[in-house]
Structure 1
Amino acid sequence: MKYWFIFCLFILNWSAFAQTLLTLRDAQSKETIPGVVVKIQGGSNQISDQNGQVILNISSSVAVTFSHIAYQTYSMQIDPNQGQMEISLSPAMNSLGEVIVQGFESERPITHQAGAISKVREMELYRFNENSFLSAFNTKPGIRVEERSPASVRISIRGSALRSPFGVRNVKVYWNDIPFTAPDGTTAMNLLDLSNIQNTEIIKGPAGSIFGAGNGGVISMESRKLVEQNLISTDFGIGDFGLRRYRIGIDQKTEKGGISASFVSQKSDGYREHSAVDRKVFQLALHSNPSERQSISTQILYADLFYQIPGALNQTQVNENRQQARPGSVAQNSSIAQKTLYGTLSHRYRLTDKVQNTTALYINTNDFENPFILDYKKETGFSYGGRTKFNFEDRWAGMPVRFVVGAEYQLGKTSAQNFGNRGGQADTIRFSDELQTTQAFLFQQFEIDWTQKLIMTLGFSENFTRYNINRTVDAGPNDPSNNTKKFDPAFIPRLAFVYKLNELSGIHASVSSGFSPPTVAEVRTNEGSINLDLQAERGINYELGYRSSFGIFNLDATAFYFRLSETITSYTNDQGVVLFRNAGATDQKGVEVSLDYALLRNQATRIQEIKLVHAFTGHYFYFADYESGGNDFSGNQLTGVAPNSLVNMLDIRSRFGLYANVTHHYVDTIPLNDANTVFQDSYNLLGARLGWRYLLGASWDLELYAGVDNLLDEAYSLGNDLNALAGRFFQPAPGRNYYGGLKLGFRY
């Protein structure tokens, strides 16, 4: 009798758990997917078998997450007693119609966005050597990232590098909703590691109607905000020229969100003499959803960056030894040391079913030291600011309408001193300034669906910019003085239309104005002058584009014409100091085209995917009206811009976890001075990465990879100095070089 009672209890307990058979399928090919990690809330992980199936024993409704390296992560609620279910997963490389972007504060498929937008997804960042985002960004048409030396990053969107001899200027950058561009107009993107970026959206051309001043465009980066599982992970990578990179991270789910932390250290000796890099980045993030209506994210980012500056060479020096540093760079310890701390808070709240507010605040401190051949610069400063916006959706006269209204404000204070440089040590002070920069703007945008196919967007912003340069010490012939540069309020409008040909294709057209004041670094230069006469650039951009997904093909094509007046250009004086001036007008005509297609996508075959991507950039930019020093440069090509460039990519993925990524990049000749008498030769870069991803049971992930950059061993310069003194134009880039690494993750 006792055994019969125990048996009955066992049967009753077993029957409380219902079996549910799940079959995982590719959303496009409908083939089953083996090797999907099935994460059950409060239970053990499982992996789908060779038939793409897994059995769940559950007694109540649970949240289940499905993850696979080749597919988008998907979560859903599964109830017991459902018997059999089929789950469709979307491939990670989606068609254009399935890619959702925020764009101009309007979340919709990219095919129906009214503007030239490129999206760089996380998996695209990891097609290359993981020491920089440079290669991934350079696969997008219209975008060029350069490194004059390792960690010395310069970004050009549609030819905006002319006024950026170093650093990132004329491009507005956001990170996790906060303005990452400093109030003075510069952006230290070299502080970020790949692990601090998950997805990136890049708006090309003037976007002042929503994002304030700037003609180059907008880069909006986002780190991982959703903690899907408890995970400990680590990476280790090595490469030529002493490259060593390691990362350790931990993700911990909480009841209503999650906590994540990571630390990255990257060092290298550099390809050239005096080009070493040492960067350490720590990030701590807390994400919470206190209720269905709101979410809160807070982050701390600390970066400690040091890199040496080898300097530019003339052609004779390049021919003698490409790896040498510019004479004087080593003796003067030409380098940059920068320590930066960010604290951020972002809050999203849905006030009603029709109204939502998003507010992001930040505070930043910065310690900057820059011994250079000609001087020694020290800066300490802090800044704070934020951005708030209200989104409102409703119907008007039966038509869907959307309003966005908001404001952004930044204030920065910096104590800056310039000294003489004696053997790499700060010598006698030359001048000292107390800098205060204020940038603010209000923005409004109205969208209306005139018909089911036609969408109109009207946006504008009012921009306010003020610089105050209080010179407290001047060892030169001038007396200390208080200098103020206040720009007249700028009204920046934008009008755009989208016509939906169908759900997977659309035509977009827009007219937008641009306004870009000079940065403090352009007004206050290293030799001590303060150029208050430097005017803001102004321009107007006309754009027409087409996006579509048809069959295996995804096409994105844009043509534009940008007329820029009061163009800011750089030149070098007799002492070798970079200065700036307004250079009349430029005419910028261009086409940007990307095409990708899957030759094969079948989960049942040994080779599961073969994909090709092509991206063409045609930038035909010229000085329309430019005279300087008695020379007329009107009609010359715009300095620093390659007329044509082409990217070709091949991705292959197999059922066994093996993958191959091959990338070819052609860059046309680049004029290096306004007179168009010196050019960077055209070049072809070929690189490849091979790897193997493997699941070790239900808890461990392993990846091994190896790759090569510049396989053809091209001699080229990536990040030339423009209008350089004494012919020092060239910053030689590495020849053929190799790298490799491993990644390990443990889910607990």
Structure 2
Amino acid sequence: MRGTDWKVMLAGCGLAARVFAAEDAPPAPPKEDLPTVVVTATRSEQDAFQVPASIDSVDVDAQSDTLGVNPSEFLAAIPGVLARDRQNYAQDEQISIRGFGARSTFGVRGLRLYVDGIPATMPDGQGQVSHFNLDSAERIEVLRGPFSALYGNSSGGVIQVFTADGEGPPRFDFGLAGASYGTWRTSANARGASGGFDYNLDFTHFETDGYRDHSRARRESGNAKLGWKIGDGGKLTVLLNTVDLPGAQDPLGLTRAQFQADPRGVAAVAQQFNTRKSVHQDQAGAIYEQDLGGGHGLRLLGYAGRREVEQFLAVPTSAQANPLHSGGVVDLDSDYGGADARWTYRGELAGGAFDLAAGLAWDRQEQHRRGYENFVGTALGVRGAPRRDEIDTVRNFDQYAQANWRFAERWTLTAGLRHSQMRFDSADRYVTAANPDDSGRVDYGATTPVAGLLYRAADWANLYVSYGKGFETPTFNELAYRADGRAGLAFDLTPARTRNAELGLKLRPASGLEANFAVFRADTRDELAVATSAGGRTTYQNIGKARRDGAEVSLDWRFAERWRLQAAYTWLDATFRSAFATCVGTPCTPTQVAAGTRIPGIPRQDVHVALQWGGERGWRASFGGDYVDTVTVNDLGSDRAPAYFVAGADLAYGFELPSGQLRAFARVDNLFDRRYAGSVIVNDANGRYFEPAPDRTVMVGLRWSWSR
């Protein structure tokens, strides 16, 4: 973008006069290199370099040269994590860790998601990121693999967003960003502290016309974090969150022929049935922390929320002739809540530093699931006759303990144990002569140990080995239908259980230089895979075994005063180790999937590289690129999305103002205008596997920070 364009944009915001008066502001001094402190693995603040597991922290608060709407904007530099912006806000982002979660066609599963300690993953394992308010966030922590006993019902790991604490004098931030295809984001944030009270309040509005036809969306979210110091060593934190996503259009996927002919197009049924989704969620939580003295501490967490979803699907009317079909409109109201009570201790044991966390966790979700036909007469995409009415309840009660002990000068041991007990109940309210009572109940349980050993080979080199078990139940969506087509829920499904082992090396050979290496193996038995997929209905089955072998490398190098290089590489070989039969086409044709077939949705390699120059004030620029290997799109491996490489660049300038700072930036994504599938819909029954990514896009934005 030319300099004259910058002036027009800034003048239009009424700020040009003050901005250009400060144009000669000196660059900000470089920040002091400080250890990356994380809490997700152990619940006590700890340098990530000293944790015997793969854990990373991304500084969200400092990254303002993005749209700031999706987690995928911030996770690219973490190896083992594949976060895909589907350009479809009716289906949420695709996020997987070490291949777990890659087969999810909507939402996030196989991982544990949290915001400030409050679960964004329901007890059955289904998670959402649509309510993540990243404008108020300080950082995102990612733990790869189930190497902490503090979290249950997952195999891939943990992603946790932390809202920034309010501190210092009042500060107000206002952001505005606009991009190609009618995309806008505006935000307002206020944070600060006074006496024993601190606050962080945020409201964000986002809208887009979408790169593809029939993909318009609007999302508004609000987030509040309020803290009070109470008495001697106590603190109460109140967390409030709301999100509204009305009528987000769903463009569905494309067949290979459609993708090659017109990547911006949609399948005809998307417009015929006006496929769309509306979401509204309100949530509240509170955390009370009390220092009990002598190294002892208590933490109590409670939360509750309600999520309302209405979704119109492109299910053919002919498929709904089956009296057991639940229709083409989903109306789902969920009330959820839970509590976590944790005692912690930090002290010494046999002369070495020792800390322990032990607690109880209880979570409950009650879904009122209704289904309706998506037609009335010849009118399509409207709510019709009722076809489903049931109350689905899932609850868990977990007990856990985890300890870290530096039992010798160079050795640290981590060990933990978690016991999970879960109950799924379904009460059918839609019972007819042709649709019998589908009520039922199933209980699941597991005891999952974790252990890690870290050796300090040198002050700048740590070697570690870790082992942990994962436990992943089927979600209510996967239990919804039986594979044999008969009435009732699929309570014959069992949880997938994974044994995970990891060997890693962490290096800090010089100030500003950090590198991490890890190799891992995850063996799963009773892996969940598709049994049948037809007529808008997908059923699942347990198969024998699956394996995910991988290697990860990351580099973060501040090699000069204003220069930074980040790189991440992942190699992942994910395969079914047992043969199984799956159903292809309509009518169903049983087809054998051979042992050794790649698990779909998982690239064998992906690479991220980014070079940055500059600081918070003055000029700043960056250039980066991502390579993602080919991805198979179904269990048979009969089709695949091609590999791709895309690059992006941005240029920004930070202006010092009398009472704050203004930052302006311009960004270009898909710099070389490549055509590629940014994500895939695994095992789509209609062969519409491909979700095209946008061609070259341009974004400009401003962020004004004012403080008293």
When normalised by structure 2's length, the TM-score is 0.89
Partner of 2:560: 600
Partner of 2:352: 399
The 5-angstrom pairing of residues 41-60 of structure 1 reads none
Q: 1:98 to 1:532 in 2, by over 3 A?
A: closer
Q: Does 1:522 align with 2:478?
A: yes
Given that residues 276 and 308 in structure 1 are in contact (C-alpha distance below 8 angstroms), is that contact kept between their aligned partners in structure 2? yes
Q: Which amino acid aligns with 1:447?
A: N
Q: Which amino acid aligns with 2:644?
A: Y
Deviations along 1:541-561, whole A, 9 cap, x unmatched? 111101011125311110001
Partner of 1:568: 528
Q: Which amino acid aligns with 1:536?
A: P
What secondary structure sits across from 1:114 in the alignment? coil
Q: 1:549 to 1:169 in 2, by over 3 A?
A: same
Distance in 2 (alpha carbons) for counterparts of 1:702 and 1:130: 17
- Given candidates 419, 428, 445, the residue that maps to 1:471 is 428
Partner of 2:224: 284
Q: Does 1:510 align with 2:471?
A: no
Partner of 1:659: 620
- Given candidates 391, 398, 401, the residue that maps to 1:441 is 398
Q: 1:130 to 1:446 in 2, by over 3 A?
A: closer
Distance in 2 (alpha carbons) for counterparts of 1:567 and 1:641: 15
Q: 1:130 to 1:260 in 2, by over 3 A?
A: closer
Partner of 1:546: 505
Q: Does 1:493 align with 2:449?
A: yes
Distance in 2 (alpha carbons) for counterparts of 1:241 and 1:496: 48
Q: Does 1:187 align with 2:144?
A: no
- Given candidates 299, 310, 314, the residue that maps to 2:255 is 314
- Given candidates 385, 410, 413, the residue that maps to 2:366 is 413
Q: Does 1:532 align with 2:485?
A: no
Partner of 1:356: 297
Partner of 1:733: 693
The 5-angstrom pairing of residues 85-484 of structure 1 reads 90-91=32-33, 94=34, 97-123=35-61, 125-151=63-89, 152-207=92-147, 209-306=149-246, 307-374=248-315, 375-422=328-375, 423-474=380-431, 477-484=434-441
- Of structures 1 and 2, the one with the larger relative CO (CA 8 A, separation 6+) is 2
Distance in 2 (alpha carbons) for counterparts of 1:297 and 1:707: 37
Tell me the CA shift for residue 252 of structure 1. Answer: 4.1
Given that residues 334 and 373 in structure 1 are in contact (C-alpha distance below 8 angstroms), is that contact kept between their aligned partners in structure 2? yes
Q: Which amino acid aligns with 1:194?
A: L
- Given candidates 609, 627, 635, the residue that maps to 1:648 is 609
Deviations along 1:641-691, whole A, 9 cap, x unmatched? 100111110000069611012110000111112222211100001011211
Distance in 1 (alpha carbons) for counterparts of 2:266 and 2:432: 31
- Given candidates 569, 573, 594, the residue that maps to 1:616 is 569
Tell me the CA shift for residue 708 of structure 1. Answer: 0.9
What secondary structure sits across from 1:190 in the alignment? coil
Q: 1:620 to 1:161 in 2, by over 3 A?
A: same
Partner of 2:643: 682
Given that residues 208 and 515 in structure 1 are in contact (C-alpha distance below 8 angstroms), is that contact kept between their aligned partners in structure 2? no
Q: 1:113 to 1:623 in 2, by over 3 A?
A: same
Q: 1:129 to 1:282 in 2, by over 3 A?
A: closer
Given that residues 163 and 570 in structure 1 are in contact (C-alpha distance below 8 angstroms), is that contact kept between their aligned partners in structure 2? no
Distance in 1 (alpha carbons) for counterparts of 2:239 and 2:44: 25
Partner of 1:706: 666
Tell me the CA shift for residue 473 of structure 1. Answer: 0.2
Deviations along 1:500-529, whole A, 9 cap, x unmatched? 223433111111111111111111159975
Distance in 1 (alpha carbons) for counterparts of 2:616 and 2:148: 46
- Given candidates 569, 581, 585, the residue that maps to 2:541 is 581
Tell me the CA shift for residue 203 of structure 1. Answer: 0.8
Tell me the CA shift for residue 273 of structure 1. Answer: 0.8
Given that residues 68 and 135 in structure 2 are in contact (C-alpha distance below 8 angstroms), is that contact kept between their aligned partners in structure 1? no
Q: 1:474 to 1:180 in 2, by over 3 A?
A: same
What secondary structure sits across from 1:195 in the alignment? helix
Deviations along 1:313-366, whole A, 9 cap, x unmatched? 111111221111122112212111111001110111111131011111111011
Distance in 1 (alpha carbons) for counterparts of 2:157 and 2:549: 16
Q: Which amino acid aligns with 1:472?
A: R
Q: 1:692 to 1:143 in 2, by over 3 A?
A: same
Deviations along 1:700-747, whole A, 9 cap, x unmatched? 210101101111211111221112223211111111111111111211
Tell me the CA shift for residue 125 of structure 1. Answer: 4.5
Distance in 2 (alpha carbons) for counterparts of 1:535 and 1:109: 38
Given that residues 563 and 585 in structure 1 are in contact (C-alpha distance below 8 angstroms), is that contact kept between their aligned partners in structure 2? yes
Q: Which amino acid aligns with 2:434?
A: P
The 5-angstrom pairing of residues 4-23 of structure 1 reads none
Q: 1:632 to 1:481 in 2, by over 3 A?
A: closer
Deviations along 1:43-76, whole A, 9 cap, x unmatched? xxxxxxx999xxxxxxxxxxxxxxx9776xxxxx
What secondary structure sits across from 1:313 in the alignment? coil
What secondary structure sits across from 2:149 in the alignment? helix
Q: Which amino acid aligns with 2:32?
A: S
Distance in 2 (alpha carbons) for counterparts of 1:102 and 1:186: 20
Partner of 2:594: 633
Q: 1:245 to 1:254 in 2, by over 3 A?
A: same
Partner of 1:29: none
Taking every aligned residue pair, what percent have the same amino acid on both sides?
21
Deviations along 1:355-381, whole A, 9 cap, x unmatched? 011111111011111111110010112
What secondary structure sits across from 1:570 in the alignment? strand
Q: Which amino acid aligns with 1:366?
A: R
Given that residues 129 and 707 in structure 1 are in contact (C-alpha distance below 8 angstroms), is that contact kept between their aligned partners in structure 2? no
Given that residues 166 and 200 in structure 2 are in contact (C-alpha distance below 8 angstroms), is that contact kept between their aligned partners in structure 1? no
Q: Which amino acid aligns with 1:620?
A: D
Distance in 2 (alpha carbons) for counterparts of 1:475 and 1:367: 27
Distance in 1 (alpha carbons) for counterparts of 2:286 and 2:273: 41
In structure 2, runs of 5+ residues without a counterpart are 1-23, 316-327, 582-589
What secondary structure sits across from 2:123 in the alignment? coil
When normalised by structure 1's length, the TM-score is 0.84
Given that residues 351 and 407 in structure 2 are in contact (C-alpha distance below 8 angstroms), is that contact kept between their aligned partners in structure 1? no
Q: Which amino acid aligns with 1:695?
A: E
Distance in 2 (alpha carbons) for counterparts of 1:660 and 1:558: 31
Q: 1:182 to 1:318 in 2, by over 3 A?
A: same
Deviations along 1:179-205, whole A, 9 cap, x unmatched? 221233222201223214221111111
Distance in 2 (alpha carbons) for counterparts of 1:655 and 1:411: 44
Distance in 1 (alpha carbons) for counterparts of 2:369 and 2:356: 42
Q: 1:553 to 1:746 in 2, by over 3 A?
A: closer
Given that residues 657 and 694 in structure 1 are in contact (C-alpha distance below 8 angstroms), is that contact kept between their aligned partners in structure 2? yes
Q: Which amino acid aligns with 2:123?
A: P
Q: Which amino acid aligns with 1:464?
A: Q
Q: 1:654 to 1:482 in 2, by over 3 A?
A: closer
Q: Which amino acid aligns with 1:136?
A: F
Q: 1:366 to 1:576 in 2, by over 3 A?
A: closer
Distance in 2 (alpha carbons) for counterparts of 1:639 and 1:69: 46
Distance in 2 (alpha carbons) for counterparts of 1:415 and 1:480: 16
Distance in 2 (alpha carbons) for counterparts of 1:571 and 1:715: 32
Distance in 1 (alpha carbons) for counterparts of 2:358 and 2:69: 38
> How many pairs does the alignment contain?
654
The 5-angstrom pairing of residues 711-726 of structure 1 reads 711-726=671-686
What secondary structure sits across from 1:317 in the alignment? helix
